Structure 1
């Protein structure tokens, strides 16, 4: 792991600062919007806008990079992020924040794609798994550190908006000044959604539902916390618990994934996540239970993302795995756009605890659909007809480039298994 860090330290340091900046602006807008009197519906539109920009960027940034190059795209998008971050407290209007969030989502996805293409180029067959693990740890650590910064400042002022702008600007220095050249860029054409759904209906359905869960966690957690009367410090700890649990449980769940029926594991994880969400819904008003529910849902949903990718790969030929990643991320992105809008509507309709009912229903839907799929297709043929691919830690904040990096690791492992079988 240390050798991986030293080989790409500029990327990891830069990515950490980027994730701190992104984690700050997500939580901060929810808190500041509440303080400014924005309605739940207005805030849900603002939060959903980020994922709309992210989805469009995953489609169009690769073409932009091919036209003008990594460095120009990296610098241009970074400048736009810094500008939007300092514009938020100046233009305190829902429409202005919505436009800003679309731009921020597009730009953050673009800089992630640019940076992750470098990570992909710098990784070898021997260290891809370690690179992915360190990259995910860096992402989670940045988001958690951002929550601590929020708890130390005043959400009604300007300083907390200036800090992420500074961090994002500084994040590009180690990357752009690195001696390692930017790689040649090539993206994989995504598999047709019809073929992907046919190959693994459960993975596609699960990805769509998880998009809603992730966007609720990333976009609406601070709004929920404010509505139920939590302090800024309590909200920061609550959001931190989501990502800390995700990081801790990623590896035990990955270990189980390689040693038991993946569909059964998907069912159990989904239902545990749903049950965890129902704790805070059925027993409202207790802060400890809110944190526990957040940790359970975060600890189950984030590893489930990587598990669904591995599960889909079990039913794909190795030459289709890289192409499938783009389709799965697109499905997840569509779910993420709908997530804040839906949870905002539910919170307005039945109360603030609708936040937990929303995540419970989505997680339970994945579990019950997994049970249904078990009656439609057996996994016994996988033991004899194909190679079950290993689990790889992939964050829900990943772009198609990071997903393709994981897919390349899968393909490498499959080829090694095939060679071992032949000999």
Structure 2
């Protein structure tokens, strides 16, 4: 396990830097949109087009990877993200931001696909949950670092956009200069959702639902914080609290899922998410520290459940299929994050800030019920233990 971590150290460093730039952009974009006077529906539509770009990557990026290799496609995706962020700082029109964010969604999804297939190739089933916990904790730490840059600038000026672009482009260096072996070119491209559904129904449905939950949160967390009465720093604290919760829960949930039925861990995670979402519905910015505590609890479920789905789907993958599996996961997650912002925007427009956690609570409940049903329907797959050298 330690040797596997060493072989992906450059990947983990690049991912941390990438997520710092991503975290800053994710906080800055919706607040700038609010500052421009755009409505929750406008922001939801921008988020939905981002998600369309995210989903399209599943069809196109695997072919690029097979033709040119993981590292070249990684660098190209970083370039697309940088162009997108800088264009957002130059043009303030809703239709233009839809295009720019669609480009960004395409690039970030392709980057995730590269990283996850790379990580899966270096992981055995017996510690795949742990490896994906490292991956997700790295994402969370990077996002925290990026979010706390936001209060240092003004979202109504280009400064934060430029800083985000600089951070993103810096993520190229560790990967480009790595001496470690890169993954083999995929033997299968595209995706087979029918095969994924047969192999792991719970990962299929769970990935779709976790996309809805994450899409709603990521696109409207800053809006939720502002509408709840929090300051810029308070909003950063709220988002950081979700991230801290993810870090706290990621290793225990991931590692426990290596020893017990991963679906049972999904049910537990969803239960935590339901309680946290209901708590968020009942309070506002006048209960600032309760908001942080509830957000921390929500973070224990919102992001860790994604890595459980990925690990469960890849438990039965054959060598050379990891890009194909990752493509299918990306399609499903992308479909979820298309729906999530639209539902989150409508819920906030109808019910105010409490509408966002209400949407999250509903979809966690659906997820928990389905995972519980699958536990009853089919026994857990046996773990494949890799002999020690």
Give the TM-score band, short-chain normalised.
0.7 to 0.9
Q: Does 1:340 align with 2:341?
A: yes
Per the alignment, residue 95 of structure 1 pairs with: 95
Per the alignment, residue 54 of structure 2 pairs with: 54
Secondary structure at 1:89's aligned position in 2?
helix
The CA distance in 1 between the partners of 2:115 and 2:92, in whole Å, is 31
Per the alignment, residue 223 of structure 1 pairs with: 223
TM-score of the aligned structures, taking structure 2 as reference length: 0.86
Q: CA deviation at 1:241?
A: 1.3
Per the alignment, residue 197 of structure 2 pairs with: 197
| Structure 1: segments with no counterpart, 5+ residues | 390-412, 418-423
Mark the structure with the bigger radius of gyration: 1
Contact 2:278–2:361 at 8 Å: present in 1 too?
A: yes
| Structure 2: segments with no counterpart, 5+ residues | none
Q: Which moved more, 1:182-191 or 1:35-44?
A: 182-191
Structure 1 pair 340–179 and aligned structure 2 pair: CA distance change class (3 A): same
The CA distance in 1 between the partners of 2:123 and 2:365, in whole Å, is 38
Per the alignment, residue 143 of structure 1 pairs with: 143
Report 1:1-400 matches (<5 A): 7-70=7-70, 72-114=72-114, 123=122, 132-180=132-180, 183-186=183-186, 188-189=188-189, 192-285=192-285, 286-311=287-312, 322=322, 324-373=325-374, 377=377, 379=379, 382=380, 387=382, 389=383
Per the alignment, residue 403 of structure 1 pairs with: none
| Post-superposition CA distance 1:30-84 (Å, at most 9, x none) | 1111111110010011122222212211321121233344554344333332222
Contact 1:4–1:130 at 8 Å: present in 2 too?
A: no
- Paired residues in the alignment total 385
Contact 1:190–1:325 at 8 Å: present in 2 too?
A: no
Contact 1:117–1:185 at 8 Å: present in 2 too?
A: no
TM-score of the aligned structures, taking structure 1 as reference length: 0.80
Contact 1:190–1:324 at 8 Å: present in 2 too?
A: no
Q: CA deviation at 1:232?
A: 1.0
Structure 1 pair 293–263 and aligned structure 2 pair: CA distance change class (3 A): same
Contact 1:221–1:239 at 8 Å: present in 2 too?
A: yes
Q: Which moved more, 1:280-289 or 1:205-214?
A: 280-289
The CA distance in 2 between the partners of 1:362 and 1:100, in whole Å, is 29
Structure 1 pair 171–309 and aligned structure 2 pair: CA distance change class (3 A): closer
Secondary structure at 1:18's aligned position in 2?
helix
| Post-superposition CA distance 1:101-154 (Å, at most 9, x none) | 111111223344445566566x47699777544433322211110111112222
Contact 2:23–2:146 at 8 Å: present in 1 too?
A: yes
The CA distance in 1 between the partners of 2:240 and 2:203, in whole Å, is 27
